[in-house]
Homo-oligomer: A and B are copies of this chain.
Amino acid sequence: MTPQEIVNTMMAKDYFSQWLGIEIIEIKEGSSKLKMTVRQEMLNGFGIAHGGITYSFADSALAFASNSHGQKAVSVETSISHTISLKADDVIIAEASEEYCSNKIGIYTIKIYKASDNSVVALFKGTVYRTSKVW
């Protein structure tokens, strides 16, 4: 399976990424680029996007990038810093890059930024365990 086919297979059953309205812009071996729009039902008590929304968006980008090599990968540890707050209708982009990849471990950084002005809204780092199962 090609990286794109793997991600299409994952996305077809990924109900939560579907709920988020994630669109796939580009998938390559070890990287992914995604797009989504913040909606009213994604806001928290401060009237801004809940931290879980940008985390979830980054976590999907991590899953797609780290599984794209063909070996099934599961998240071990992830961290995120939220910088600028988001409102309803903001369009955001997630870009995942592979920083390191061995037989067992992969490390990825994901940058989330606003499509309107490229300002960074969150920085995410994720470590995955690469299982021996293949797609």
Residues of A within 8 A of B (CB): 9-17, 19-20, 40-47, 50-53, 55-57, 59-60, 63, 74-83, 99-100, 102, 104-105, 107, 109, 120, 123, 125, 127, 129
Contacts and interface: CB of A to CB of B under 8 A. Distances in A.
A63 B45 contact: yes
A42 B56 CA distance: 11
Given A76-B77, A125-B79, A127-B81, A43 B15 contact: yes
A74 B14 CA distance: 30
A63 B50 CA distance: 10
B127 A127 contact: yes
A75 B56 contact: no
Contacts of A60: 44, 50, 52
